[in-house]
Amino acid sequence: MFSTLYARAMQWAVHPHAKRYLAGLSFAESSFFPIPPDVMLAPMALARTDKAWEYALLTTLASVLGGLFGYLIGYFAFDLISAWLEQSHYWSAYLRAREWFDSWGFWAIFLAGFSPIPYKVFTITAGVVGMNIPLFVLASLIGRGARFYMVAGLMVWGGARMESLLRRYIDRIGLVLVVLAVIAYVMLNGG
């Protein structure tokens, strides 16, 4: 199953509109969409290592813009989404993000780039708590940028060897990621 998805992602990576799709996915994931942009960034950076840093920059900027949209949702429309959020599996993540903001402020957004809690939860929460917007943007640029540049860097570093390994082991990697996602979900939702 994952090898088929991997082959499809590699086809999308060289599509003439791939950069637009990557930007759209990056924007949407930061505010409301469940699929992270890494699923497009990695194969695009792997397929065109000469453009990997450009793709990482595009992903970062679009993600931060989407994060600002998520911030606006939290700031202006939280009352409209709170009932849905309480009934969704995101509620416990939202509560945890609130705790992170109370404890760490600026660093909560910075760490969100690497957290198992979806970034969109942090962007909406930042709006709810009224985080300083310039600090929000700065933390998002640093945190998200570090993540996406790391993904692009790994693809550049690995090159054709990485592509060969991914192709060979993608089904096993996919299974491990699904298991880790289930474990993270159970842990975030209190067992």
Instruction: Give 62-93 pLDDT, tens digit per residue.
Output: 999 999 999 999 999 999 999 988 888 888 88
Instruction: Give pLDDT, residue 43.
Output: 85
Instruction: Give pLDDT, residue 170.
Output: 66
Across 33-58, average pLDDT: 89
Contact predicate 65/28, CB 8 Å:
no
The highest-confidence range among 2-6, 132-136, 166-170, by mean pLDDT, is: 132-136
User: Which residues constitute the domain of residue 154?
Assistant: 2-188
9 has a pLDDT exceeding 70: no
The two tokens of residue 114 are 């690497």
106 has a pLDDT exceeding 90: no
Higher confidence at residue 12 or residue 106?
A: 106
Number of domains within the chain: 1
